[in-house]
Amino acid sequence: MQQVNLGMIGGGTVGGGVYEAIRRNGALMASRLGVSLNIRRIAVRDLKKARAVNLPARLLTTDWHSVVADPEVNLIVELMGGTTTARQVVLAALKLGKPVVTANKALLSAHGEELFAAAQQHGTNLYYEASVAGGIPIIKVLREGLIGNRITRLFGIVNGTCNYILTRMKDEGADFAAVLADAQRLGYAETPPDLDIDGHDAAHKTGILASLAHGFWVNPRQIHTEGIRSISRQDIGFAGKLGYTIRLLGCVKVVNGIRRKKSAIGNRQSAIQVSVYPALVPNSHVLANVNGVFNAVLVRGDVVGDTLYYGRGAGQDATASAVLSDLADAALDLKCGTKNRIPPFVPHERDGAVLPMDEVVSRYYVRLTVEDRPGVFAKIAAILAKARIGISSIIQPEGHAGESVPVILMIHDAPNAAMRRALASVAMLPAVKSPPVMIRVESFE
């Protein structure tokens, strides 16, 4: 039986999970593939570091260069994280014509275009299933399963930390800070938690999916990104009364007919919205029922319609499972001598563009804290009317004259720029006692 020798860079949580998974199921994979996987070398930062998985000392080295350059190593597995050394590792392997498997979403978000070009230039391949949504095979779905579809909509719950926090806030009526502290104690959130709760992790993943689905590389700086820090127990409660659940969504949407004279993308027929933000999701929609640390991605193709992919989006085993999938593909490609059977990324939309967030049209939930006295709402309504923003419904709990009370406005479709300017004016009213909270409403149309 043919053997493929692996050089692993990184022996931490994911690296240990991959080693253990190959030890456990390597024979099963070999029987299915006709190729056996053999871990030849593992590069780590510290030989003496205690690890949850016992990696054989004979395999370990601190010199990643020697692993990449080893002529007996056929395939490099980059599992170290970060973007600086990881980029050097991947480029060095690709320049030697060696295929690379990576789980590094931050690396691909920052340097994907360069890395994919290097893979093409040197006639090899880059596999990255584990970079998005853990054990959910969403990369393979977009690259292979839906290859005959134009992707018109993609919505993803792709950060388990945020989904865990929002789920508990809804189920228990708990405050954000208390649930975040629990998430950190349980290992679901890092310290500091900024990468997750400020939306950056979800933006890395959403950008990769958008690039793959639409055939041009999405610059991470063009992805509008909001996190969940501003979501309060009040917002969760009011959303529930209105028939919604709040989820952090990665959104990729084709927007047709963009012909605005002053548009930042020029006079183009179509563009895509790529953004990450909390959104009100109708309770009747399947994504409203994705709870805890689980992830889900809904993909709409012009031929297939809506498809849904659900599972564990992070963790040692889920990520290791995705890495094993890539190892299987890479091993088969090497076995058959087809180093580039399906290219990692094919740029095919020469005219693709990301729509500026100010031009995106949405419905909105707005929470205001106002002084309960006559004439306040008339002034708010006048500001919105001047901006041509329509109100679909209002919730105002009863209060006592002079007290500060919440007012909930549900807003008809309006451009983001108009909402942003109108709420800035509303915030300046003396009767408005705190900054307005604005959350988009997703209808999945």
pLDDT digit string, tens, across residues 366-381: 999 999 888 999 999 9
Which amino acid would we find at residue 89? V
The confidence band for 346, taking pLDDT boundaries of 50, 70 and 90, is confident
Catalytic residue among 205, 241, 261, 386: 205
Tell me, yes or no, whether 267 and 396 share the same domain.
no
CATH code (residue 429):
3.30.70.260
Tell me, yes or no, whether 161 and 282 share the same domain.
yes
> Which of helix, strand or coil describes residue 351?
coil
CATH code (residue 231):
3.30.360.10
Decide: 61 and 7 in contact? Cβ < 8 Å: no
Torsion angle in degrees (nearest 10) through CA of 208, 210, 214, 215: -20
Tell me, yes or no, whether 35 and 100 share the same domain.
yes
Strand partners, 100: 76, 126
Decide: 323 and 101 in contact? Cβ < 8 Å: yes
Domain of residue 404: give its range: 360-441
pLDDT digits (tens, 9 = 90+) for 195-222: 999 999 999 999 999 999 999 999 999 9
Tell me, yes or no, whether 307 and 159 share the same domain.
yes
> Which of helix, strand or coil describes residue 427?
helix
Tell me, yes or no, whether 131 and 54 share the same domain.
yes
Tell me, yes or no, whether 130 and 165 share the same domain.
no
Decide: 102 and 108 in contact? Cβ < 8 Å: yes
Query: Which DSSP state fits 184?
Result: H
Q: Is the pLDDT of residue 397 over 90?
A: no
Tell me, yes or no, whether 304 and 328 share the same domain.
no
Tell me, yes or no, whether 206 and 57 share the same domain.
no
Q: Is the pLDDT of residue 259 over 50?
A: no
Overall average pLDDT of the 57-62 stretch? 96
Q: Is the pLDDT of residue 262 over 70?
A: no
Tell me, yes or no, whether 53 and 185 share the same domain.
no
Q: Is the pLDDT of residue 256 over 80?
A: no
Q: How many CB atoms lie within 10 A of CB 169?
A: 23
Tell me, yes or no, whether 322 and 225 share the same domain.
no
The total number of residues shown for the chain amounts to: 445
- Domain-embedded: residue 93: yes
Domain count, the chain: 3
Question: What confidence score (pLDDT) does residue 260 get?
Answer: 45
Burial category of 85 from C-beta neighbours within 10 Å (exposed 0-12, middle 13-18, buried 19 and up): middle
Question: What confidence score (pLDDT) does residue 189 get?
Answer: 87
pLDDT digits (tens, 9 = 90+) for 401-442: 668 899 999 999 999 999 999 999 999 999 999 999 999 999
Q: Which of 243, 278, 312 is the last residue of a domain?
A: 312
Q: Is the pLDDT of residue 122 over 90?
A: yes
- Domain-embedded: residue 355: no
What is the pLDDT of the chain when averaged over all its residues?
Answer: 93
CATH code (residue 95):
3.40.50.720
- Domain-embedded: residue 47: yes
Decide: 264 and 280 in contact? Cβ < 8 Å: no
Contacts with 190 (C-beta within 8 Å, 6 or more apart), sequence order: 184, 196
Tell me, yes or no, whether 75 and 171 share the same domain.
no
Q: Is the pLDDT of residue 249 over 90?
A: yes
Tell me, yes or no, whether 111 and 166 share the same domain.
no
Contacts with 187 (C-beta within 8 Å, 6 or more apart), sequence order: none
The confidence band for 268, taking pLDDT boundaries of 50, 70 and 90, is low
Determine whether 98 is an active site residue.
no
Please tell me the distance from the alpha carbon of residue 86 to that of residue 238, in angstroms, as a whole number. Answer: 44
The confidence band for 264, taking pLDDT boundaries of 50, 70 and 90, is low
Please tell me the distance from the alpha carbon of residue 20 to that of residue 23, in angstroms, as a whole number. Answer: 5
The tokens for 395 are: 């919730």
- Domain-embedded: residue 344: no
241-271 residues labelled b (16+ CB within 10 A) or e (exposed): ebebbbbbbbbbbbbeebeeeebebeebebb
